[in-house]
Structure 1
Amino acid sequence: MRQLLNVISDRGSKYAVSGAAVRDRAAVDDFLKELKRNKKFAKATHNSWAVDFSEAGPLKGDDGEAGAGQVILRMLEREELRDHVIVVTRWYGGKHLGGDRFRHVQDCVRAYLEGA
């Protein structure tokens, strides 16, 4: 598991990104479970994620942040990164970010991919 904490802070909201190689949906569930063992991540407002499996194809989860999983998935597909889950975590800061939240998700994924 690789994590980048405090990637972005905007109007009180904070973002982090995590990821790992996975082989199937059960491995994604295990990864999310392991991530949420850390109380900080368990208390996060959203843990949005996506993966593009070589065999089974794409899978995503918004965790209440509508559209965030699709943003992550699109970036994974563009990079042709298969069998690797990326999770963008957001702690809501009390102010709506509008469309900026999608830019922040993209920036988190980009930071993760550049460090990979």
Structure 2
Amino acid sequence: MSLTRLGVILTDRGSRYAVSGAPVTSRAEVDAVLAELKADRAYARATHNTWAAVLPTGALKADDGESGAGMVILRMLERAGVTDHVVIVTRWYGGKKLGGDRFRRVQDCVRAYLEATGSVGS
């Protein structure tokens, strides 16, 4: 398992966003990737670590308190045709609510990850 961390790639009104991911084929591997990521105290203390993966057994996602963000990640993975991979968007809350913009920031992170890893579909 090789965790790819792009680190903090954008900020919006004080909130910082980072994106990470790794190849996975099972829920146990997703959990192992999350554990590896959270072994870094900065990520463990983040406000949200939302993620999604399309596995042979089906799609999985988790909002980690950022309601709806897991589905945003999942839809982007499905649209790009990315399978057997987990993408995690981490947010450190900056004190101001972003409303619907938070979904755009999640999309920006996933797009940056897909481009950086060469996983961009059509």
Find out whether 1:6 has 2:8 as its counterpart: yes
Code of the residue aligned with 1:88 in structure 2: it is: V
CA deviation after TM superposition for structure 1 residue 5, in Å:
1.4
Code of the residue aligned with 1:16 in structure 2: it is: A
CA distance in 2, matches of 1:42, 1:92: 13
Partner of 1:96 in structure 2?
A: 97
Partner of 1:17 in structure 2?
A: 19
Which moved further from structure 2: 2-11 or 57-66?
Answer: 2-11
Instruction: Please give the TM-score of this superposition, normalised by the length of structure 1.
Output: 0.98
1:69-84 superposed matches below 5 A: 69-84=70-85
Deviations 1:45-85 (A, max 9, x none): 000000001x2110000000000000000000001100100
Q: How many positions carry a matched residue from both structures?
A: 115
Deviations 1:17-63 (A, max 9, x none): 0000001000000100110000000000000000001x211000000
Partner of 2:35 in structure 1?
A: 33
Unaligned runs of at least 5 residues, structure 1: none
CA distance in 2, matches of 1:50, 1:89: 12
Give percent identity, aligned residues only: 63
Q: CA RMSD in A?
A: 0.5
Code of the residue aligned with 1:71 in structure 2: it is: V
Code of the residue aligned with 1:6 in structure 2: it is: V
CA distance in 2, matches of 1:5, 1:81: 21
CA deviation after TM superposition for structure 1 residue 115, in Å:
0.7
CA distance in 1, matches of 2:88, 2:8: 14
Partner of 2:115 in structure 1?
A: 114
Unaligned runs of at least 5 residues, structure 2: 118-122
Partner of 2:120 in structure 1?
A: none
Aligned to 2:96, the other structure's residue is in SS state coil
Instruction: Please give the TM-score of this superposition, normalised by the length of structure 2.
Output: 0.93
CA deviation after TM superposition for structure 1 residue 16, in Å:
0.1
Code of the residue aligned with 1:62 in structure 2: it is: D
CA distance in 2, matches of 1:98, 1:56: 33
